[in-house]
Amino acid sequence: MSETSERLPAGVERRSIEGRSRLATRGEPVYGEPTADGWRTWDPNRSKLGAMIELGMDHGLVGDETVLYLGAAAGTTVSHVADFAGPTYAVEFAARPARDLLSAAETRDRLIPLLKDARRPETYGHVVEADVDAIIQDVATRGQAAVAVRNARFLAPDGRLLLAVKARSEDVTDAPAAVFERTLDRLRDRYEIRETERLDPYHEDHLGVIATLR
């Protein structure tokens, strides 16, 4: 049975799969996730956005959004997003995971892979439509805030940034709390921070951030 008390986007439900209540979307499986009756488990241990939803963060997603996903990797999370959202632009630079991303897109008309570097939005600005409803970012690199700031050009005035900050990608020597604060300070050049929450126990040394344009 699905639950309606949670703030879940249309197309995302909590379903009983393998005897447990789990977040799920409808679509072809991508990473060997358990399925039942056409629903595929959305594993928060493998998805930063899934963890943000599980933790009750105010993600603002309602379903059918236009999404720019930065750091799509092999398509684990972005495939779930494309299951419930509208056009979903998936940016990934590394060739090896991009092959899996292309495979995930074969059964998803709304998933648009872009083999580009999220640090250089000018290289895909001619493809991504203006005023996307949400930017979802999971880029494991230094300068994660800079990536979000550079891509703010695509976000609608009332859109949201859903960012997962990986402390160890920024600085392996400094305390995660200090890394997070520096990242938030840089984000404030372009965004207003609405909510933050550590993504434990699903992802160690990660911070979930919800922000809107300033």
Annotated binding site: 76-77, 92-93, 117-118, 138-141
Answer for the pair 130, 155: CB distance below 8 angstroms, yes or no: no
List binding-site positions for S-adenosyl-L-methionine: 76-77, 92-93, 117-118, 138-141
Give the type of residue at 50: G
Three-class SS string for 182-206? HHHHHHCCCEEEEEEEECCCCCCCE
With CA atoms as reference, report the closest residue to 27 among 17, 18, 37.
37
- What type of residue is 197? E
CB 39 within 8 A of CB 15: yes
Which amino acid would we find at residue 212? Answer: T
Separation of alpha carbons 2 and 22, rounded Å: 9
- CB within 8 A of 210, min separation 6: which ones? 52, 57, 58, 59, 60, 160, 161, 162, 163, 193, 194, 195, 196
